[in-house]
């Protein structure tokens, strides 16, 4: 994806406006997709991560692309601010100090492996986002999680815990997909 500086600024503004509108009306910003550049109209999956003083304050998104990029950013920003189950709703006093990070995901690709060690060997620290699933359990880590979990084995074991599986869990039906992201945030 080739976003211009103007596109990036627009995405960040829409995310911020959606959170602001949520504080005022308890509804996300609904955008008129055709009012935006063609690149922002492409169907893309996104995650919006909110931080305050470099501490996570909310993160919501989708792995499957099903709506235009500009719309998805608006909805995910709103959801990250008000519906991340790990946090209380963002308050009006927090709004001015929120740092907004947007991750635009590539289409996930199924990985082929014959053991946990084989899967770990294929991971690209700092590059890959990872989705794991098995027997009704599913979770993902964005590539940005590599900043705090730099060891591939730790990365996978923590992701298993996030999915509700034991860290040493393995089965023949275990599935994994990887993806990359284009990350943008206000400088």
The residues spanned by each domain of the chain are: 5-105, 109-180
pLDDT averaged over every residue in the chain = 96
Question: Which among 168, 175, 131 has a CA at the least distance from the CA of 153?
Answer: 168
Over the Cα atoms of the chain, what is R_g? 17
In this structure, are residues 28 and 22 in contact, taking their beta carbons and an 8 Å threshold? yes
In CATH terms, are 5-105 and 109-180 the same topology? no
Cα–Cα distance for residue pair 43/31, rounded to 1 Å: 14
Task: State which fold the 109-180 domain adopts.
Answer: Dna Ligase; domain 1 (3.30.1490)
**CATH class for domain 5-105?**
alpha beta
Determine the average pLDDT of the residues in 125-139. 97
For the cut 80, the answer to whether the pLDDT of residue 173 exceeds it is yes
Strand order in the sheet with 45-52: 55-61, 45-52, 99-105, 181-185
Strand, helix or coil for residue 3: coil
187 falls in which pLDDT band (50, 70, 90)?
A: low
For the cut 90, the answer to whether the pLDDT of residue 150 exceeds it is yes
pLDDT digits (tens, 9 = 90+) for 58-72: 999 999 999 999 999
pLDDT digits (tens, 9 = 90+) for 94-127: 999 999 999 999 999 999 999 999 999 999 999 9
For the cut 90, the answer to whether the pLDDT of residue 2 exceeds it is no
- 25's CB contacts (< 8 A; 6+ apart) are none
User: Which residues sit opposite 110 in a β-bridge?
Assistant: 177
Determine the average pLDDT of the residues in 3-28. 97
């Amino acid at each position: 994806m080739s976003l211009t500086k103007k596109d990036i600024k627009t995405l960040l503004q829409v995310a911020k406006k959606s959170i602001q509108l949520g504080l005022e009306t308890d509804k996300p910003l609904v955008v008129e997709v055709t009012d935006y550049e063609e690149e922002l109209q492409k169907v893309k999956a996104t995650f919006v991560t909110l931080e305050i003083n470099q501490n996570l304050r909310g993160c919501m998104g989708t792995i499957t692309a099903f709506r235009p990029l500009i719309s998805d950013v608006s909805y995910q920003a709103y959801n990250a601010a008000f519906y991340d189950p790990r946090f209380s709703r963002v308050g009006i006093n927090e709004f001015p100090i929120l740092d907004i990070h947007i991750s635009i995901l590539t289409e996930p690709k199924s990985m082929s492996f014959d053991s946990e060690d084989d899967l770990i060997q294929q991971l690209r620290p700092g590059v890959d986002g990872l989705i794991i699933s098995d027997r009704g359990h599913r979770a993902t880590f964005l590539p940005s999680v590599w900043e705090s979990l730099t060891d591939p084995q730790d990365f996978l074991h923590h992701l298993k815990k996030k999915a509700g599986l034991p860290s040493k869990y393995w089965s023949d039906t275990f599935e994994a997909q990887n993806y990359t992201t284009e990350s943008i945030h206000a400088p």
